[in-house]
Amino acid sequence: MVAYDKLIDDIRSEISTISESADLPDGFLDLQEVKDGHSLWIIEPVSKRRSKMIFSITTRGKKDQKYISIAVKISMLTKVQPPETAEVVMKESDAPNCKLNFLHGESEILPYLHDLILYYTEHFEPSDKFGCCHRYKECSAERKCIHPDPFYSKACWYRKNLENGKVFY
């Protein structure tokens, strides 16, 4: 389990680095301990509830043959290619999910997770939406959303109207 614990520490460090460099809001990425491992979630900027699971990690195998299994949505495989050394396991019952199996100590696992986290954060669209915030007059004058938090502003319906050239105020 020492390798698994080190991996979790490395993932926490990656999350911190990505959050800082991408100027993500506090708590946007949340690594949670679950019954058989950990899972990384994007937290909705408005309601603060879990929105999208980026990946989950569990250990399996005998003591001397530990694997780290990473469950990844299949749609991501076309955008973020897994390393050639990863064993891709798909079952019909798992669709649209698959598992990637890595041996402990696999050097390609962290860069792969890094790429997954970046992809999900760059392409995140919140499911919680709101009409507009108190900045609607300023946004109308600028003809674009001026909210300082780009992730929160993605949840604004008025922003979508402004992007389509519709100004209401």
Pairing of strands 37-43, 50-60: antiparallel
The pTM of the full predicted model, rounded to 2 decimals, is 0.75
How many beta carbons lie within 10 A of that of residue 120, not counting itself? 22
State the first-to-last Cα distance of the chain, in angstroms, to the nearest integer. Answer: 58
Say if residue 45 is preceded by a cis peptide, omega within 30 of 0.
Answer: no
pLDDT value, residue 68: 72
Residues in the chain predicted with pLDDT less than 70, given as ranges, are: 1-2, 61-67, 73-78, 92-96, 103-106
User: What is 98-162 written as a DSSP string?
Assistant: EEEEEETT-TTHHHHHHHHHHHHHHT---S--BS--TTHHHHHHHTS---S-HHHHTTBHHHHHH
pLDDT value, residue 105: 57
pLDDT digits 0-9 by tens, 81-113: 888 878 887 776 666 677 888 765 567 788 889
Structure token digits, residue 99: 């598992």
pLDDT value, residue 2: 64
- The domain limits of the chain are 2-122, 129-169
Which residues, 6 or more positions from 76, have their beta carbon under 8 angstroms from its beta carbon?
A: 116, 119, 120
pLDDT value, residue 20: 92
pLDDT value, residue 64: 55
pLDDT value, residue 40: 93
* Domain 2-122 class, CATH top level: alpha beta
Give the total residue count for the chain. 169
pLDDT value, residue 82: 80
